[in-house]
């Protein structure tokens, strides 16, 4: 009886010792999958184009002794300017502002009233000088612009975006090879936006004849952030 009890105690000691040193655990033996390596880079794409549209503003300022007289004279003058613009081929003619306000002398007394009216108009760049000449000949004494832009701005922005992704891939490929890796698939793309240069506005002289306009070349750029998986 004592012998059986001794054997049982020895068995319990063996089990206790095994627990202390730690037996292989199936759950811990399975290593987790490593996280997928990735590389994130930015890319910039640019597209150059010559503007083919011009937006200008034409105004008439009239001074008279009374507000009613100033408004009436200004309206007549502006009608002539608008008619001249239409005849010269202007499109998208739209009123920008109408204002009437008093002007004073040195003593602060009201000397009369000023009426102003301004319209914007769009034309092809080649037709812009004719619009300026026609408007000023019809009585416009305020001319500003042109704001030069491209009629294909949206298509150019899409081209710039496509080039920005290509530029990001070239950059990422260089970095991956330097690290002894190769590029996998694109896992995400974040657009930072496409930007077209703001139009340059130059003040045109009202008395100018056959005003020269040189559109030059504009650059549209786009920036994206692209993440690639690595092999």
pLDDT tens sequence across 76-101: 999 999 999 999 999 999 999 999 99
Mean of pLDDT over the chain:
81
Q: Has residue 134 been placed in a domain?
A: yes
| Tally of domains in the chain | 2
Q: Is 158 helix (H, G, I), strand (E, B) or coil?
A: helix
Q: How confident is the model at residue 108 (pLDDT cuts 50, 70, 90)?
A: confident
Q: Give the mean pLDDT of 51-57.
A: 93
Q: Has residue 17 been placed in a domain?
A: no
pLDDT of res. 193? 67
Environment class of residue 174 by beta-carbon count within 10 Å: exposed (0-12), middle (13-18) or buried (19+)? exposed
Note the helical H segments in 22-152.
26-29, 67-87, 128-138
Q: Are residues 60 and 91 in the same domain?
A: yes
Containing structural domain, residue 173:
38-49+153-200+215-230
Q: Has residue 23 been placed in a domain?
A: no
Strands 183-195 and 218-230, sheet pairing: antiparallel
Q: Are residues 131 and 61 in the same domain?
A: yes
Q: Has residue 145 been placed in a domain?
A: yes
pLDDT of res. 210? 63
Note the helical H segments in the chain.
2-21, 26-29, 67-87, 128-138, 153-178
Structure tokens at 231: 């092999």
pLDDT of 56 over the 90 cut: yes
pTM for this structure?
0.62
User: What gap in Å lies between CA 41 and CA 178, rounded to an integer?
Assistant: 14
Q: Has residue 30 been placed in a domain?
A: no
Determine the angle formed by the axes of helices 67-87 and 128-138, rounding to 10 degrees: 150
Q: How confident is the model at residue 149 (pLDDT cuts 50, 70, 90)?
A: confident
Q: Has residue 120 been placed in a domain?
A: yes
Q: Are residues 103 and 185 in the same domain?
A: no
């Amino acid at each position: 009886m004592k012998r059986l009890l001794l054997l049982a105690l020895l068995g319990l000691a063996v089990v206790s010792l095994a627990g202390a040193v730690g037996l292989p655990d199936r759950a811990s033996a399975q290593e987790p999958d490593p996280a997928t390596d990735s590389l994130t880079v930015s890319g910039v794409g640019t597209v150059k184009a010559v503007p083919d549209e011009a937006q200008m503003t034409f105004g008439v300022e009239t001074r008279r002794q009374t507000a009613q007289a100033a408004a009436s004279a200004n309206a007549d003058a502006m009608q002539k300017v608008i008619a001249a613009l239409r005849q010269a081929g202007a499109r998208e003619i739209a009123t920008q502002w109408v204002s009437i306000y008093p002007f004073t002398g040195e003593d602060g007394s009201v000397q009369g009233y000023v009426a102003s009216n301004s319209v914007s108009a769009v034309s092809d760049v080649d037709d812009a000088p004719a619009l300026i000449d026609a408007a000023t000949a019809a009585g416009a004494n305020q001319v500003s612009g042109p704001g030069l832009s491209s009629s294909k701005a949206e298509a150019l922005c899409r081209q710039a975006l496509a080039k920005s992704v290509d530029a990001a891939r070239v950059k990422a490929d260089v970095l991956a090879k330097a690290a002894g890796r190769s590029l996998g698939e694109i896992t995400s793309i974040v657009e930072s936006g496409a930007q077209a240069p703001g139009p340059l506005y130059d003040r045109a002289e009202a008395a100018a004849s056959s005003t020269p306009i040189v559109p030059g070349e504009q650059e549209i750029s786009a920036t994206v952030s692209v993440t690639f998986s690595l092999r």
